[in-house]
Amino acid sequence: MPDDRVVITAVGPVTPVGVGRAELAAALAEGLEPVEIGQLNVEDYLASAKTYLDPNSAYALCSAALALKDARLTVNDDNAASVGVSFGTRLANVTTVESYLKMLREQGVKLASPLLFIHGYPNTSVSLSAIEFGIKGTSFNFNSGRFAGLQALIQAADELGSGGMSVMLAGAADTYTEVTRAAALGAPFGAAMTLALERLEGASARGAQPLAEVAGCGLVRSADDAASRALADAGIGASDIDWLLSDAADALDISGRAHLTELIKVLGDCGAATAMLGVALVALAVGEGKPPAGLGLARAPRNALVVSADDFGAAAIVLKKPTD
Amino acid sequence: MTTRPRVLITGMGAVTPFGTGVEVLWQGLTAGRDGIRPIDRFDMTDYRVKVGGVVGETDFEFPEDPGLAESDLGLRFCARAVREAVESAGLTRDALAEADAAMVLSTNFGPAERYQRLCESSLTDATTDPEALRESLLGFVAAYLGDLWGLRGPRAMISLSCASGNAALGYAAELLRRGRAEVAVAGGYDLISEFAWSGLIALRTMTTKRITPFDRNRSGTIFGEGAGVMVLETESHARTRGARAAVELAGHHANNNAFHLTAPDKDGASIVRAMRRALEDARCAPEEVDHVNAHGTATAYNDRVETAAIKTVLGTRAYEIPINSIKSMIGHLMGAASIVETIAAARTIETGVVPPTINFETPDPDCDLNYCTAGAETHEVRCAVSNAAGLGGCNSVVVLRRL
């Protein structure tokens, strides 16, 4: 019987509470105080300079680069077709779309910019990630809503579970413009979070250290239903969850039974990356066996539930220690 | 070998340049009609390409939600195709609400027209209207139509450029296989808008002449608009309710060239890999493939590389089977392209009729397969492959099998 358990083996945070694993881990130990990232120098993260990148794509690419580095994984001709990437973004590359529309309005269609147009495609970040790192396996991009990040993670986990890929990068990114800031439920922060996912046996075989196991997933219309299904998928009950993290605006039925972290209150609204940042916080806390500072948890969680939802849909995952 | 639920196609719906409905599409395709016409929706004076695959009839009725008649045109395309697909599957809102039903849609540009209006209004208004912004988000259409039909299962809006429609089908099939849903309403849509048309012209992939896939003198594609939707069900769900189905969605794969955002991957290795992975997923040998509905964009690069890829994957079988590009008749429907082409492939399996590739005049030595250029052909088709590719290096392939 093959061991089809899926684990998170690396994190690539480009977030208001830390860029890179070390910064995020330090923030987790010392307390989370979000601050705007601002413009990244992408050449510090990528192999070559770029002519143009939407801020969303820049964050996504740097995040993916950090995740690959953290995973100590090199994509080459031997493994390129078995490494995939799945990405989620609620707002996509709106900065570039707005720049394109401004040029169109001011200069007319004859001077429409092909560079801006192509970088405004919703799939630009996932495509650039595949191109930058030579990822030739499964490629997906979700724009479903706030939950698109967790949806990408679930798609990645399913892809690994079915044996289709050996490694998946699952990521999310969102950045805001003056127009889209109104979509934020809290302080709007640009952010990206990419995770490396592998089958446990594959991770063990290459000596990668699993941080947390993706034990159950739920993907449905409502947050409560998603949470229930993720718990059922993991084969555990709500009482087994000792840390609940949610970016949903509304309270969940299981709130009150587990220690709750309302992600947007703590981290600001990072769009689809909000819940993925929550997943990374759990992965680091579980993987390193330390409770996060300032969030009210007395000890490192054993089982955590991360819920992401808006009025477009919902997703939830259960994370646990991989050796359980 | 692990067992997994079979995924059946139990309903289909389409809004295309031929009009409303799958049957209207099919009649146009099998007759070899030309659906390209002048675009009159906005001022075309400064546009180099003034014709496209335009949906002429847009005065739809929506008994399920009369308010839809006032909504954005792209949403109306999609809503109309969803209703046809659901009704042709013999499903109702109540039945969908009782099932674990998913809504999986896809698009290139989605509500770009609405977003353009929002940005223009933001120039004069100090604040952004939250509801207008909500309706401008890419995920809105899947959420709106999911709620309209009472679906409580997974929601997805996928965007993988012009490979989006087949990717949505593949993702929906995987939700069914993994037990995350029993029924999925899956499809894609796009709209000819100033945003899309100006950019697509700027990319210089469109011809100012006719669209002539696989012709030696082909000079580019012509884009269009519309929507295509399928209802997919697990076999057990379909059989339990007595649904009719003639075609199985047997396999799929979506990947990336990992080469360049706009420049073509000249060796075609990734479309080869996508076809092979989709056939493996379908457990379908090359010799079982009886038809390929090609991406066939009529760009110099695509048709040559796609032809080579078909030959690489299918070997000698490539020379024995009918291949077509229905883009020659309706244009390249962007996010709706591959789903509408897969609908056509499903109809080919059901009827044994392969629609033609029209406008073909001059053979190309690099494109030396049977593209049905003399008119519709009749073939028994057991398995069909539908190819799709898009900017950003996206590929998606779906394999259909006759039940």
Q: Which pLDDT tens digit goes with each residue over A189-241?
A: 999 999 999 999 999 999 999 999 999 999 999 999 999 999 999 999 999 99
Element (DSSP H or E) covering residue A131: helix A124-133
Find the helix or strand (DSSP H, E) in which A107 lies: helix A94-107
A130 touches chain B (CB under 8 A): yes
Q: What residues of chain B lie within 8 A of the CB of A112, using their CB?
A: 198-199, 201-202
Please indicate whether, in this complex, the C-beta atoms of A117 and B253 are within 8 angstroms of each other: no
B225 with B190: CB under 8 angstroms?
A: yes
CB distance from A114 to chain B under 8 Å? yes
Instruction: Give pLDDT, residue A214.
Output: 98
Residues A273 and A192 sit within 8 Å (Cβ to Cβ)? yes
Does B120 contact A105 at a Cβ distance shorter than 8 Å? yes
SS3 A192: strand
Q: Do B256 and A126 touch (CB under 8 A)?
A: yes
Task: Please state whether A187 falls in left (phi above 0), alpha (psi between -120 and 50) or beta.
Answer: beta
> Each residue of B359-373: pLDDT tens digit?
999 999 999 999 999
pLDDT band, very low/low/confident/very high, at A253 (cuts 50, 70, 90):
confident
Residue B260: list chain A partners with CB under 8 A.
Answer: 131
pLDDT tens figures, A30-87: 999 999 998 889 999 999 889 999 999 999 999 999 999 999 999 999 999 999 999 9
Assign A252 a pLDDT band (cuts: 50, 70, 90): confident
B176: closest chain A residue by CA: A158
User: CB of A80 within 8 Å of any CB in chain B?
Assistant: yes
A2 touches chain B (CB under 8 A): no
Contact A62, A130 (CB under 8 A): no
DSSP assignment string, B349-369: HHH-EE----S--S-BTTB-S
* DSSP letter for each residue of B137-166: STTHHHHHHHHHTT--S-EEEE-BTBTHHH
- Interaxial angle between packed helices A273-288 and A148-161, expressed in degrees from 0 to 180 and rounded to the nearest 10: 60
Which domains are seen in chain B, by residue range? Answer: 7-240 (3.40.47.10), 250-402 (3.40.47.10)
Strands (E), A247-323: 259-262, 303-310, 313-320
pLDDT band at A257 (very low <50, low <70, confident <90, very high): confident
> What domains appear along chain A, each with residue ranges and CATH number?
6-205 (3.40.47.10), 215-320 (3.40.47.10)
Query: Quick check: B1 pLDDT over 60?
Result: no
- In this structure, are residues A193 and A172 in contact, taking their beta carbons and an 8 Å threshold? yes
Check if B260 is active-site: no
Asked if the Cβ–Cβ distance from A131 to B394 is below 8 Å, we say: no
Structure tokens, A98? 């707005």
Q: Which residues of A touch B46 (CB under 8 A)?
A: 108-110
The answer, yes or no, to whether residue B25 has pLDDT greater than 70, is yes
Q: From the list A102, A113, A131, which residue is nearest B258 (CB)?
A: A131
What is the distance between the alpha carbons of residues A310 and A147, in angstroms, rounded to a whole number? 7
Average confidence (pLDDT) over A120-137:
98
Catalytic position from the list B295, B367, B383, B394: B295
Choose the mutation target among A1, A102, A103, A142 for the interface with B, i.e. most B CBs under 10 Å: A142
Test B47 with A311 for CB contact under 8 angstroms.
no
Structure-token pair, residue B182? 């029993």
Encode pLDDT of B227-256 as tens digits.
Answer: 999 999 999 999 999 999 999 999 999 999
Radius of gyration for the alpha carbons in chain B, expressed in angstroms and rounded: 20
The percentage of residues in chain B with a pLDDT greater than 90, rounded to a whole number, is 93
From the list A127, A144, A312, the residue facing B393 with the nearest CB is A127
Q: Measured between CA atoms, how close is B398 to chain A, in angstroms?
A: 14
Residue B295 among the catalytic residues: yes
A324: pLDDT strictly greater than 70:
no
Residue B395 above 60 pLDDT? yes
Q: Encode pLDDT of A287-310 as tens digits.
A: 888 889 989 898 989 999 999 999
Residue A211 CA to residue A286 CA, distance in Å, equals 7
pLDDT category at B293 given cuts 50, 70, 90 is very high
Q: In this predicted structure, what is the pLDDT of residue B265?
A: 84
Partners of residue B289 on adjacent β-strands: B383
DSSP tag of A134: T
Q: Which of A130-139, B121-130, B273-282 has the lowest mean pLDDT?
A: B121-130
**pLDDT one-digit tens code per residue, B63-102:** 999 999 989 999 999 999 999 999 999 999 999 999 999 9
Cα–Cα distance for residue pair A226/B165, rounded to 1 Å: 26
Enter the pTM of the model: 0.98
Relative orientation angle of helices A21-30 and A273-288, to the nearest 10 degrees: 80
pLDDT tens per residue across span B310-355: 999 999 999 999 999 999 999 999 999 999 999 999 999 999 999 9
| Dihedral angle, C-alpha B91, B94, B99, B104, nearest 10 ° | 70
Q: Cβ distance A134 to A76 under 8 Å?
A: yes
Sorted by sequence, the CB contacts under 8 Å of residue B58 that are 6+ apart come out as B73, B76
pLDDT at B2 over 70: no
Nearest CB among B128, B156, B270 relative to A182 is that of: B128
Q: Report pLDDT for A1.
A: 56
Q: Give the pair of three-digit tokens for residue A17.
A: 């509470």
